[in-house]
Amino acid sequence: MAKRTAAGAEPVPLSRERVLRAAVGLADAAGLESLTMRRLAELFGVEAMSLYHHVANKEALLDGVVEVVMGEVRDTVAALDGPPAEEDWRAALRGKVLAARQVMLRHPWAPQVFASRRSADPAVIRYLDEVAGIMRRGGCSYDLVHRALHTLGSRALGFAQELFEPDGGPAPADADQLGPMAAELPYLAGMLSEIAHEDPGSTLGWCDGQAEFEFGLDLILDGLERLRTA
Amino acid sequence: MAKRTAAGAEPVPLSRERVLRAAVGLADAAGLESLTMRRLAELFGVEAMSLYHHVANKEALLDGVVEVVMGEVRDTVAALDGPPAEEDWRAALRGKVLAARQVMLRHPWAPQVFASRRSADPAVIRYLDEVAGIMRRGGCSYDLVHRALHTLGSRALGFAQELFEPDGGPAPADADQLGPMAAELPYLAGMLSEIAHEDPGSTLGWCDGQAEFEFGLDLILDGLERLRTA
DNA sequence: ACCTGAACACCGTTCAAGT
DNA sequence: ACCTGAACACCGTTCAAGT
């Protein structure tokens, strides 16, 4: 009789591939703080130590998780049918970045993991080579491509670092909570009383809503295009 | 006779202020992963539990650390003498952001801590009110100010999220390591063979070097100014 | 080759007890 | 009010042992 396993566990043998996929699923379902070696092992009805036969340690596990997410990005990007880079590099790159963002939205914890890797994952580097290729074929100098990669930073992969979550911050948009704020924060109070936030729900961890993300992305792409033709 | 304390420890009584300053110093000296309640207590020659009289828990400690760093930002920004916002909002904001960046460069671990706070620290919100004020007094609509805050994101405080550390990534700039790369990464290889990285040392964790940071910041500020006058 | 069980060196945090 | 000591519930990871 098969050994007792956690609910939903499969008695299939472990493998690096299966371990990494389960790690992504665990983070999706229970959050990044739940992704521990012990809890991951539980999903397979196995001791934590068994995982070390397929993954060197937790850092390597997280590297593998990045690999899996980048695989999803590649699959999503491959399904795109935008204009060729030679014709309109901005539109081509924009489509690619927004497609990558869709993947990040499915894994809200991913930006944090990407940011925690000290050296670049090979899959990320390959992705950036494609980004560079789009710009290069679009007529950008390598110098501009280089600066563009730095300027875009994590935006190239579809996420951007906000200073706080849009909902948790100073965005009550409520006149009641605005009163005490107006005294010490006159400009934010004035701004909030004039602006209506119309993008509820579409938050990506510490990242922009869709409209804000697109605004910032377009502003950067337009600025780069202006430099290209200057 | 005073109790045995760790090297350099002072027998002065604890206080929230002293605990927070010691936490910043510990992260500066030994890295963020060394900032644990136990090791922090050691600095005072005290048990970890004693810290809980001055700080609710570790999350509150990190909130306080953000507070301390923001205090340094405010001090640094206060010493600036740029043009008034009404005259040249771009120059005023640029100076403020670059001053904030100087503080972040002193605390390379700070961006990570800032990013880990789920809701905005009051000191950060006050800072952003000042940023909004500069733009507003410079003639920007509140709508533009709002989009600017989202677009700048963490850049407003002087740091930006790169996909990997500049040195650890695909920047060998060495013809030897470029050979095998050229096959799979044609565009990055081409770029690196043409571009000479000239900003060694000035890395900020997962952030740009100074020149790259200024390039990205200026590109965004110029784009915003163009929208303002449109 | 793969998995286990016990153990180690750490965490943050609680509780009751001391002064 | 402030600090302690022991303990609890977790971590990642090692090692020697099993099959």
What would the pLDDT profile of A56-65 be if each residue is shown by its tens digit?
999 999 999 9
Tell me how far apart the alpha carbons of residues A230 and A121 are, in angstroms, rounded to a whole number.
34
**Is residue B171 pLDDT above 70, yes or no?**
no
| Residues A107, A117: Cα–Cα separation, whole Å | 16
**Is the CB of residue B36 inside 7 Å of nucleic acid strand C?**
yes
Provide the strand spans (E) within A11-110.
none
Kindly tell me if the per-residue pLDDT of B220 is higher than 80.
yes
Looking at per-residue confidence, does B81 or A91 come out higher? A91
- Any residues with CB less than 8 A from the CB of A59 and at least 6 apart, and which? none
At residue B11, the pLDDT reads 56
The answer to whether A69 touches A110, Cβ cutoff 8 Å, is: yes
Give the integer Cα–Cα distance in Å for B212 and B102.
15
pLDDT over threshold 80, residue B12? no
What is the model's pLDDT at position A204? 42
CA of A55 to C1' of D11 (A): 17
pLDDT surpassing 50 at residue B199: no
Q: Which amino acid is at B203?
A: T
- Please judge whether A184 and B126 are an interchain contact, meaning their C-beta atoms are less than 8 angstroms apart: yes
Tokens of B128: 């952003």
What mean pLDDT do residues A109-121 have?
89
Cβ within 8 Å, pair A219-B224:
yes
pLDDT surpasses 50 at B134: yes
Provide DSSP, B92-140.
HHHHHHHHHHHHHHH-TTHHHHHHH-SS--HHHHHHHHHHHHHHHHTT-
H or E element at residue B184: helix B175-184
Band (pLDDT 50/70/90 cuts) for residue A6 is very low
Asked whether residue A102 carries a pLDDT value surpassing 60, the answer given is yes
For B90, other C-beta atoms within 10 Å of its C-beta total 19
For an interface test with A, give the residue of B59, B63, B73, B191 to mutate (most A CBs within 10 A).
Answer: B191
Q: What share of chain A is helix, strand, coil (3-state, %, to 5)?
A: 65, 0, 35
The amino acid at residue B74 is R
Residue A167 has pLDDT above 60, yes or no: no
A132, B187 in Cβ contact below 8 A?
yes
pLDDT band, residue A196 (cuts 50/70/90): low
pLDDT surpassing 50 at residue A175: no
Which nucleotide lies at the shortest CA–C1' distance from B60? C12
Smallest Cα–Cα separation from A185: which of A200, A171, A199?
A171
Protein CA A56 to sugar C1' C1 (Å): 16
Full-prediction pTM beyond 0.75? yes
pLDDT at B202: 38
Q: Please state the rounded mean pLDDT for residues B96-106.
A: 97
pLDDT tens digit sequence for B19-30: 999 999 999 999
Looking at strand D, which nucleotides approach a protein CB closer than 7 A? 1-6, 10-16
What average pLDDT score do residues A190-208 get? Answer: 58
Mean pLDDT of B165-189: 64
**Percentage with pLDDT > 90 across chain B:** 72
Question: What does the block give as tokens for B40?
Answer: 């922090």
Chain B residue closest in CA terms to A144: B191
Q: B132 and chain A: CB distance < 8 Å anywhere? A: yes
Q: Tell me the shortest Cα–Cα distance from B118 to chain A, in angstroms.
A: 6
Q: Which residues of A touch B164 (CB under 8 A)?
A: 117-121, 124-125
Taking CB atoms and an 8 Å limit, are A164 and B216 in contact across chains?
no
Question: Do residue A191 and residue B142 have CB atoms under 8 angstroms apart?
Answer: yes
In chain B, positions 16-75, which contact chain A (CB-CB < 8 Å)?
A: none
